[in-house]
Every structure is written in structure tokens, then in C-alpha cells.
Amino acid sequence: MSDSTPPLLKLWKKFNGSAPQRGLFSLGYALKAPYFRTVAPRVREVEPGRAVLRLGKWWGVQNHIGTFHVIAALNGAEAAMGLVCEATVPTTHRWIPRGMRADYPAKSTGGLTITATLDDVDFSAITRESGGELHTIRFQMLDDAGVEPVTAEIDVWITAKKPR
């Protein structure tokens, strides 16, 4: 891996060998951004342009009608966004979320599996001189019945870091 390989991706490659290792990775990731702890994400896959995590259904993520609370689902989406950005954006660049769009077309059954995808980004075109670029991360959120109860997109602003 080159020097611009994102540290999170290097760490994932070390901890992806077994279920206990993935559990430790997931715990560490949730502790890094404390609000993610509220949904207890379990990281399943991480690669450039794609990340998958699982949110189990428990009382802490339920709403008043017993389904998966949409804000908890969006917290999971934000956790998946962080994974895909940290695994994709090289160390020469940085990212920050700019906005989120969501819809809740159906009730959920059980937990959620969230897949975040980011289309190919030409990082060589994102320079200090050019400013930055807005890119959209799309999510597939499937419940245990295979239904997509929440749809969402998060826009991220990517810029080149100042050279050291």
C-alpha cells in the first residue's frame, strides 16, 4: 500500500481476519465517534468506494411503534458514510459532510444492513487551486425482511490538504 492509503483501510485489513477482530474494529470505530455508540454498528465490509455495516434491533433503536427509529437508521448511515470516506479519500485530501436527504417509505422489520457507496472520485483533479468537489454517498438500508424502510444520501465536500 502506498503512503496515501487511508489509515482506516490499513487498520481494517489487519482486523478483518475473524469475527472477534471485526468486533474489536467495530467497537473502536464506535468509540472514535461517540454518537455512533448509540446504534452499536457492527462493521462487515470496508473497501474503497464501499462499506457495509449492521445495526441490530434492540430497544435503544426502536421508536414508539416498535419499528427501527429513522434517526437511528440515519445515525447508522452516517457511520457507514464515515467508513466509506475514510477508506476512499487518500491522506492527501480531506472530507466533510455537507448535507443529508432522507425518506422513509416503509416500516422496518428487525435490524438493518446498511451499504454505503461512493462513485469513483478523481482525486488528482481536486487540488488546492481548484477548491473542492461535492460527492454524494448513496445508501441501501435493508431490514431483516429485505425491505428498504429508509432511503438516504449524504453529500460530502472533498478538498486537497495543504502540503506540509
Each residue's pLDDT tens digit, 14-46? 999 999 999 999 999 999 988 999 999 999 999
Arithmetic mean of pLDDT, 76-82: 98
For domain 7-160, the CATH class is: alpha beta
| pLDDT given at position 1 | 45
How many Å apart are CA 4 and CA 155, to the nearest integer? 23
pTM for the full model?
0.93
Instruction: Specify whether the CB–CB gap between 1 and 11 falls below 8 A.
Output: no
Instruction: Specify whether the CB–CB gap between 5 and 80 falls below 8 A.
Output: no
**Exposure on the CB side of residue 118, measured as CA atoms within 13 A:** 31
How many Å apart are CA 134 and CA 125, to the nearest integer? 12
Provide the phi-psi class of 85: left if phi over 0, else alpha when psi is between -120 and 50, else beta: alpha
In 3D, which of 10, 15, 45 has the Cα closest to residue 28? 15
Q: 2-11, 50-59, 153-162 — which is least confidently predicted?
A: 2-11
Arithmetic mean of pLDDT, 78-92: 96
How many Å apart are CA 59 and CA 66, to the nearest integer? 8
| pLDDT given at position 59 | 92
Arithmetic mean of pLDDT, 121-129: 95
Label the pairing between strands 112-118 and 93-103: unpaired
| pLDDT given at position 3 | 66
How many Å apart are CA 157 and CA 133, to the nearest integer? 6
The residue ranges of every structural domain in the chain are 7-160
Provide the phi-psi class of 51: left if phi over 0, else alpha when psi is between -120 and 50, else beta: beta
Residue 104 pLDDT > 60, yes or no? yes
Please give the share of the chain, as a percent, with pLDDT higher than 90.
Answer: 92
Element (H, E) at 43: strand 42-47
Arithmetic mean of pLDDT, 134-152: 97
